[in-house]
């Protein structure tokens, strides 16, 4: 009988709400109490260093290419020993959507995500982070990996002058 | 001469006290509702303004007062401006007839703890609660918005259908107390409250005041998820605040009426009368909040069916039966 069922169904909600009143709320009181973030939480980006303390970034532009909102920009430069680096590196966190695609694109593990999410500012221009703000003094997630140790530093001397190396072929010349 | 002067002063003090208590009760009821509802949903509710959120009503008041008072271009200005006032005023005026304690004796003066003991107090209450419908109806009509209009149409039809049942459910009370004066009705319940003598009337009145206060499960006039805000969709700032305060004063009044008519008013063991009255009113207010946390909203046709096909016949039958029993008992 629907009426009986309706009358029966009328009372349980009262018991549920009454019981809930004496349980501890699940709310996290944020500024006083920090939320427990998941291990792989994606927030502010940093530029890490390799185990030798050198910058990992080789300014390959892959992160800015992968970035869906185009918030990463940089200028590539080459040191005298042939090591590439970014002469300036800029991330606009006002645009960043914290998707982490840049970290997946990075071939040298230079750009990494941290769980520091408290970067709100009143002035959006202050959210434009320069290289000095982004660089950190540790290796981030991976303590061993060093790109140049795997690949070797680029060649500083002009081509053909290194030991056991022949002079480059002149491609305009037809002679073998 | 001195006696009259003392009397006048006492009456003035009583007026100011009642006014202050009712308004602050309405303000803190909002806070209490938000906190209790939050606990029922495993949240904390407002707890930032002051210790435990205790000055949240002040913060809300300042916010409402400093907001823009917007009037839609197509609104009927005159009606739009007075509607919120009507809603709050009728609610406040109703408290004039509610006795909240036994007669006090101060300075050799008898001071009845009621603003005005009308001999037709019950009719006055019913009349004013109908007038409160005008605030709602005019507010919705004058806004010239479809949501507001729908809200006020729903509100009016709901008020009409439930006021009938409410009026009929208090008829047995009047028959048992043999008076329309609320003080006399409370006096008649000295030994046993009418809620126990006549439970059907109590239940019908309880359900009707839920509809009268436009709250869940009968909050169709302002059903947020259907009508944006219902009849007060177009209101902003303190005009919305007046509607809001009126609603909560109304809640206090309806709880007081339930206390007076069915729960024995200020009668109760051990504690002084005024404390008993307060306790009963607050308990009913808690019940209102509890119901809001527990029940869903009725559909419009369910509401109408329930009002006309269940409550009305029940109330009529109750009048008949009570009359027969009273006649039989002589």
Residue A16 to residue B38, Cβ atoms within 8 A: no
- Distance between CA A94 and CA A99 in Å, rounded? 13
What confidence tens digit (pLDDT) does each residue in B104-146 have?
777 667 777 777 778 888 888 888 888 888 888 888 888 888 8
* Contact residues on chain B for A24, CB-CB shorter than 8 A: 42
Q: Which of B37, B38, B39, B48 to mutate to test the interface with A (most CBs of A within 10 A)?
A: B39
- Distance between CA B282 and CA B290 in Å, rounded? 12
CB of B140 closer than 8 Å to CB of B155:
yes
A67 in any annotated domain:
yes
Q: Which of B288, B294, B298, B309 to mutate to test the interface with A (most CBs of A within 10 A)?
A: B294
Q: Is the minimum CB–CB distance between A29 and chain B shorter than 8 Å?
A: yes
A143 in any annotated domain:
yes
Q: Is the minimum CB–CB distance between A20 and chain B shorter than 8 Å?
A: yes
> Residue A155: what pLDDT?
62
Is A60 flagged in the annotation as binding?
yes
> Residue B51: what pLDDT?
85
The gap between the terminal CA atoms of chain B, to the nearest Å, is 47
Identify the DSSP state of B49: S
What confidence tens digit (pLDDT) does each residue in B266-279 have?
887 887 778 888 88
What confidence tens digit (pLDDT) does each residue in B192-239 have?
888 888 888 899 999 888 888 888 788 877 777 788 777 888 888 888
Residue A23 to residue B42, Cβ atoms within 8 A: yes
CB of A92 closer than 8 Å to CB of A38:
no
Say what the pTM is: 0.79
How distant is the Cα of B41 from the closest Cα of chain A, in angstroms?
7
Which chain B residue has the Cα nearest residue A23?
A: B42
Backbone angles phi, psi at A92, to 5 degrees: -95, 100
- Domain ranges across chain B: 67-329
- Distance between CA B277 and CA B262 in Å, rounded? 12
Residue A20 to residue B39, Cβ atoms within 8 A: yes
For B:18-77, CB contacts with A below 8 A are 36, 38-44
A176 in any annotated domain:
no
- Distance between CA B88 and CA B78 in Å, rounded? 17
Q: Is the minimum CB–CB distance between A2 and chain B shorter than 8 Å?
A: no
> Residue A146: what pLDDT?
83
A29 in any annotated domain:
no
Which among A17, A24, A27 has the least Cβ separation from residue B294? A17
How distant is the Cα of B208 from the closest Cα of chain A, in angstroms?
17
> Residue B189: what pLDDT?
84
* Contact residues on chain B for A2, CB-CB shorter than 8 A: none
For A:100-119, CB contacts with B below 8 A are none
> Residue B265: what pLDDT?
79
Which candidate, B222, B118, B104, places its Cα nearest to that of B179? B118
A127 in any annotated domain:
yes
Show pLDDT as tens, one digit a residue, over chain A (176 residues).
687 888 888 888 899 899 988 988 888 888 888 888 888 889 889 999 888 888 888 888 999 999 999 999 999 888 887 788 899 999 999 999 999 899 999 988 899 998 888 888 899 899 999 998 888 888 888 888 888 877 777 666 676 777 777 877 888 888 76
**Token pair 């750009």 is at which residue?**
A111
> Residue B212: what pLDDT?
84
- Distance between CA A151 and CA A154 in Å, rounded? 8
Which chain A residue has the Cα nearest residue B41?
A: A20
- Distance between CA B103 and CA B144 in Å, rounded? 49
A137 in any annotated domain:
yes
Is A139 flagged in the annotation as binding?
no
Q: Which of B34, B35, B40, B306 to mutate to test the interface with A (most CBs of A within 10 A)?
A: B40
* Contact residues on chain A for B294, CB-CB shorter than 8 A: 13-14, 16-17
A132 in any annotated domain:
yes
Q: Is the minimum CB–CB distance between A26 and chain B shorter than 8 Å?
A: yes
Identify the DSSP state of A49: B
Q: Band the pLDDT of B283: cuts 50, 70, 90.
A: very high
Backbone angles phi, psi at B39, to 5 degrees: -65, -35
Which among A13, A18, A20 has the least Cβ separation from residue B42? A20
Is A57 flagged in the annotation as binding?
yes
What confidence tens digit (pLDDT) does each residue in A45-82 have?
999 988 888 888 888 899 999 999 999 999 988 888 77
- Distance between CA B245 and CA B264 in Å, rounded? 27
> Residue B96: what pLDDT?
84
Which chain B residue has the Cα nearest residue A15?
A: B294
CB of B221 closer than 8 Å to CB of B151:
yes
A73 in any annotated domain:
yes
> Residue A163: what pLDDT?
73
Q: Which residue has the higher pLDDT, B283 or B106?
A: B283
The pLDDT mean for chain B works out to: 85
Q: Is the minimum CB–CB distance between A120 and chain B shorter than 8 Å?
A: no
* Contact residues on chain A for B40, CB-CB shorter than 8 A: 17-18, 20-21
Residue A137: Cβ within 10 Å count: 7
How distant is the Cα of A16 from the closest Cα of chain B, in angstroms?
8
**Residue A132 belongs to a domain with what CATH number?**
3.30.70.3270
What confidence tens digit (pLDDT) does each residue in B60-78 have?
889 988 988 888 888 888 8
Domain count, chain A: 1
Which candidate, A60, A46, A146, places its Cα nearest to that of A91? A46
What confidence tens digit (pLDDT) does each residue in B160-202 have?
888 888 888 888 888 888 888 888 888 888 888 888 888 888 9
């Amino acid at each position: 009988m629907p009426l009986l069922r309706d009358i029966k169904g009328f009372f349980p909600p009262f018991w549920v709400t009454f019981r809930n009143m004496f349980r501890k709320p699940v709310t996290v009181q944020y500024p006083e109490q920090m939320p427990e973030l998941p291990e792989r939480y994606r927030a502010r980006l940093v530029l890490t260093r390799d185990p030798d303390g050198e910058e990992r970034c080789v300014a390959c532009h892959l992160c800015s290419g992968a970035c869906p909102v185009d918030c990463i920009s940089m200028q590539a430069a080459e040191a005298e020993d042939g090591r590439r680096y970014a002469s300036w590196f800029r991330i606009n966190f006002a645009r960043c959507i914290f998707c982490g695609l840049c970290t997946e694109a990075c071939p040298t593990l230079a750009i990494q995500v941290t769980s520091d999410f408290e970067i709100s500012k009143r002035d959006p221009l202050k959210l434009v982070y320069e290289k000095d703000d982004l660089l950190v003094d540790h290796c981030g997630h991976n303590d061993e990996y060093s790109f140049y140790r795997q690949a070797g530093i680029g060649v500083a001397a002009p081509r053909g002058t290194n030991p056991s190396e022949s002079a480059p072929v002149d491609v305009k010349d037809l002679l073998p | 001469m001195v006696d009259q002067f003392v009397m006048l002063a006492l009456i003035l003090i009583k007026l100011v006290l009642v006014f202050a208590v009712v308004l602050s009760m309405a303000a803190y009821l909002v806070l209490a509702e938000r906190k209790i509802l939050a606990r029922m949903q495993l949240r904390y509710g407002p707890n930032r303004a002051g210790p435990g959120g205790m000055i949240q009503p002040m913060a809300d008041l300042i916010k409402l007062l400093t907001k823009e008072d917007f009037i839609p271009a197509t609104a009927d200005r005159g009606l739009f401006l007075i509607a919120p006032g009507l809603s709050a005023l009728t609610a406040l005026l109703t408290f004039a007839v509610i006795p909240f304690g036994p007669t006090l004796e101060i300075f050799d003066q008898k001071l009845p703890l009621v603003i005005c003991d009308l001999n037709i107090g019950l009719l006055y209450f019913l009349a004013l609660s109908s007038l409160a419908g005008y605030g709602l109806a005019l507010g919705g009509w004058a806004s010239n918005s479809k949501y507001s209009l729908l809200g006020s149409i729903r509100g009016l039809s709901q008020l009409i259908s439930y006021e009938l049942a409410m009026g009929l459910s208090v008829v047995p009370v009047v028959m048992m107390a043999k008076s329309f004066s609320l003080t006399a009705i409370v006096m008649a319940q000295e030994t046993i409250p009418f809620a126990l003598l006549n439970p059907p009337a109590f239940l019908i009145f309880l359900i009707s005041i839920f509809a009268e206060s436009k709250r869940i499960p009968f909050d169709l006039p302002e059903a947020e998820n259907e009508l944006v805000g219902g009849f007060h969709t177009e209101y902003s700032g303190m005009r919305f605040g007046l509607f809001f305060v009126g609603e909560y004063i109304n809640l206090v009044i309806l709880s007081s009426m339930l206390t007076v008519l069915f729960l024995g008013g200020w009668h109760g063991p051990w504690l002084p009368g005024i404390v008993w009255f307060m306790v009963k009113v607050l308990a009913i207010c808690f019940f209102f909040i509890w119901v809001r946390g527990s029940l869903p909203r009725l559909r419009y046709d369910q509401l109408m069916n329930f009002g006309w096909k269940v409550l009305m016949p029940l109330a009529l039958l109750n009048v008949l039966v009570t009359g027969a029993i009273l006649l039989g008992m002589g």
